[in-house]
């Protein structure tokens, strides 16, 4: 079966994190086309399964919308009314069947692209000031001399500092057709006058492998943030490189990975699973949408200790990988129960330029577990699932997770695993309550911590450039005075000072600030290396991957 894109979960995150899937046409497709285009140039074709009911529904909607457009007391936007009607109709089906209007398709598709046209900068927005975190290596911005800490005053002669623009809008201003130029006015510490640059846009790599490095002489760490078009190639190259450096055991980090293209995920899983064992299968309405995917190549790492990190943000294609590795006893899973997005969508291009992503099947792990968690008539209840997990204690205590006995399955070696939605890890690690505390979250979401780190980097740039990362990591510490200064800046940005909360989250905050500084001074690998010190899930995973006796016991070997 062709491998389009599995939709990711609706978790209340920004639109860029709602996602994708595959699979099938039916009567409602025709209805959606009719709603969007009415009688335009797309002839109505009723469903072969239920032609009379489909035709009646189509004609009813056409007639009502025509009356509204012609006779309603006020002027109406019939396109938006049709979009709303389609969205409400699809919501009655399941949480992941969606209609994407033509105006939103580019933004929606961008998440799964492995490159884009732009100038290549990572930036922070704090107190309505856009500040460069880092220019992407080799990109036009770096070649033009843009530096971490530069404040962007205007883009294309449009004032952006103090203009109350969103991160999304700022990104749109930076991107544009390859070869076109964009003018920027920058303010840099130590310079009396602003810098005026004209930067030619080019193709920028949008990597989905966020980090890949050796933790020690034998242990590798690879973080995959999503399954985009080039994810498998990026992953394979990173894995081969680490193998050359001496990797014999691996931690694969799929936390927060919302999914993406299924075939990229199954090819990644195939690197770990030997022989011709099953990776995933789908079951839909009729055999046309049923499929089975098996391992088929000699993988790069079919032997050797493997630990996979998952959490409540791991969804869809990420759950396919985790479920297959667990069912075949190939890896130890560490973390918390995954999201539970096991509905398969097929993207269907519509004649108005929009796209219907229609659920046509369900994902099942090799042992037969359904990945999809239950959903009913209430879309709101489904959306509150993660909040309910917190309320019920599931994110902090493994015993709070309840499984139905009739949904018991067994792995290749006879270990008991459960279906019913999501993948439960072998080793439970409670969520770090400090990392999700109200005060720490405010410091991070307001951009305060990153802004403080950027200012520190700029003020101490020369000294930092004189240190190797290993020296910095071994000796650098955030002081109490710096935390007090940070709290004062946060108060000015609307995060009210809370001395008790600051004391509680101080170790985590020191680590995060240090990681941000390392990111600007030494790059992304340095950032993840520093964060490792205060990452309880990763620390547990590193312990598990290095304990061969525990590995064998957990995997039933």
In a domain, 153, yes or no: yes
Same domain, 279 and 151: no
Same domain, 467 and 515: yes
Query: Using CA atoms, how far apart are residues 401 and 146, in angstroms rounded to an integer?
Result: 49
In a domain, 135, yes or no: yes
In a domain, 556, yes or no: no
Count other Cβ atoms within 10 Å, centred on residue 486.
22
Same domain, 353 and 487: no
Please pick, among 18, 341, 373, 514, the residue that the annotation labels catalytic: 341
Among all chains, which residue has been given the structure tokens 């303010």?
187
Per-residue pLDDT, 222: 98
Q: Which pTM does this prediction carry?
A: 0.84
Please pick, among 327, 385, 426, 535, the residue that the annotation labels catalytic: 327
- Show the tokens assigned to 405: 């006995």
**Chain segment 477-513, per-residue pLDDT in tens:** 999 999 999 999 888 888 888 899 999 999 999 999 9
DSSP 8-state code for residue 374: P
Q: Structurally, how many domains does the chain consist of?
A: 3
Same domain, 184 and 230: no
In a domain, 300, yes or no: yes
Same domain, 257 and 380: yes
Same domain, 420 and 442: no
DSSP 171-184: HHHH--STT-EEEE
Please pick, among 316, 367, 370, 520, the residue that the annotation labels catalytic: 316
Same domain, 454 and 419: no
Domain boundary residue, one of 205, 232, 256: 205
Same domain, 406 and 464: no
**Chain segment 97-145, per-residue pLDDT in tens:** 999 988 888 777 777 787 888 999 988 888 788 999 888 878 899 999 9
User: Which residue stretches of the chain have pLDDT < 50?
Assistant: 1-43
Range of the domain at 421: 210-431
In a domain, 77, yes or no: no
Domain boundary residue, one of 394, 413, 431: 431
Query: Using CA atoms, how far apart are residues 139 and 439, in angstroms rounded to an integer?
Result: 36
Same domain, 289 and 215: yes
In a domain, 5, yes or no: no
Known active-site residue 327: yes
For residue 280, what are the CA distances in angstroms to 22, 36, 66, 323?
14, 35, 46, 8
Q: What is the CATH number of the domain that holds 168?
A: 2.30.42.10
Rg (CA), the chain: 25
Same domain, 452 and 422: no
Per-residue pLDDT, 403: 84
The helix or strand, by DSSP H or E, that contains position 327, with its residue range, turns out to be helix 317-327
Backbone angles phi, psi at 417, to 5 degrees: -130, 160
Domain boundary residue, one of 409, 431, 453: 431
Q: What is the CATH number of the domain that holds 408?
A: 3.90.226.10
Query: Using CA atoms, how far apart are residues 543 and 305, in angstroms rounded to an integer?
Result: 11
| 129-135 and 121-126 strand pairing | antiparallel
Same domain, 420 and 356: yes
Count other Cβ atoms within 10 Å, centred on residue 432.
17
Known active-site residue 514: no
Known active-site residue 291: no
Among all chains, which residue has been given the structure tokens 């979009």?
83
In a domain, 486, yes or no: yes
In a domain, 554, yes or no: no
Same domain, 487 and 392: no
- Judged on CB neighbours under 10 Å (0-12, 13-18, 19+), 230 is buried
Per-residue pLDDT, 47: 61
Among all chains, which residue has been given the structure tokens 């103090």?
162
Report whether 369 contacts 345 (CB < 8 A).
no
């Amino acid at each position: 079966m062709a491998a389009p894109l599995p939709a990711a979960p609706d978790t209340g995150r920004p639109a860029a994190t709602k996602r994708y899937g595959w699979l099938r046409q039916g009567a409602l497709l025709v209805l959606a086309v009719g709603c969007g285009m009415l009688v335009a140039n797309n002839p109505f074709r009723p469903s072969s399964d239920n032609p009379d009911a489909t035709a009646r529904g189509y004609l009813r909607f056409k007639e009502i919308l025509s009356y509204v457009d012609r006779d309603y007391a006020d002027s109406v936007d019939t396109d938006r009314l049709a979009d709303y009607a389609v969205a409400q109709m699809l919501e009655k089906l399941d949480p992941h069947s969606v209609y994407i209007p033509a105006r939103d398709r580019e933004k929606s598709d961008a998440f799964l692209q492995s490159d884009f046209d732009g100038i290549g900068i990572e930036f922070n927005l704090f107190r309505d000031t856009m500040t460069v975190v880092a220019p992407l290596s080799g990109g036009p911005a770096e070649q033009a001399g843009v530096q971490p800490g530069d404040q962007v005053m205007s883009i294309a002669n449009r004032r952006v500092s103090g203009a109350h623009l969103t991160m999304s809008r700022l990104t749109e201003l930076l991107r544009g057709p390859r070869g076109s130029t964009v003018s920027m006015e920058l303010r840099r510490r130590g310079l009396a006058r602003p810098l005026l640059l004209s930067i030619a846009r080019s193709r920028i790599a949008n990597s989905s492998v966020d980090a890949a490095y050796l933790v020690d002489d034998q242990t590798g760490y690879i973080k995959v943030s999503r399954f985009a078009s080039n994810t498998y190639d990026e992953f394979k190259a990173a894995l081969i490189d680490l193998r050359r450096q001496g990797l014999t055991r691996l931690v694969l980090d799929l936390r927060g990975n919302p999914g993406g293209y299924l075939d990229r995920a199954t090819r990644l899983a195939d690197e770990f699973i030997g022989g011709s064992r099953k990776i995933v299968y789908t079951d839909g309405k009729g055999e046309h949408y049923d499929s089975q995917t098996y391992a088929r190549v000699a993988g790069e790492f079919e032997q050797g200790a493997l630990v996979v990190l998952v959490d409540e943000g791991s969804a869809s294609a990420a759950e396919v990988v985790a479920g297959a590795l667990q069912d075949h006893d190939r890896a130890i899973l560490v973390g918390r129960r995954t999201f539970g997005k096991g509905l398969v969508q097929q993207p269907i291009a519509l004649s108005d330029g929009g796209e219907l992503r229609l659920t046509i099947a369900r994902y099942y792990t090799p042992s037969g577990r359904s990945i999809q968690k239950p959903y009913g008539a209430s879309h709101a209840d489904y959306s509150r699932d993660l909040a309910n997990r917190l309320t019920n204690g599931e994110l902090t205590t493994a015993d709070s997770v309840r499984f139905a006995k009739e949904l018991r399955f067994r792995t290749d070696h006879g270990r008991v695993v459960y279906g019913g939605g999501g993948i439960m890890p072998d080793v439970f690690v409670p969520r770090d309550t400090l990392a999700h505390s109200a005060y720490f979250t405010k410091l991070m979401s307001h951009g305060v911590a990153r802004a403080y780190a950027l200012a520190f980097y700029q003020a101490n740039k020369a000294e930092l450039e004189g240190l190797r990362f290993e020296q910095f990591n071994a000796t650098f510490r955030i002081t109490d005075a710096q935390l007090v200064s940070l709290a004062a800046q946060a108060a000015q940005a609307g995060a009210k000072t809370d001395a008790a909360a600051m004391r509680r989250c101080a170790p985590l905050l020191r680590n995060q600030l240090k990681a941000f500084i390392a990111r600007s001074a030494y790059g992304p690998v340095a950032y993840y290396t520093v964060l490792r010190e205060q990452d309880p899930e990763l620390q547990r995973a590193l312990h598990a991957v290095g304990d061969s006796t525990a590995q064998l016991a957990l995997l039933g070997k």
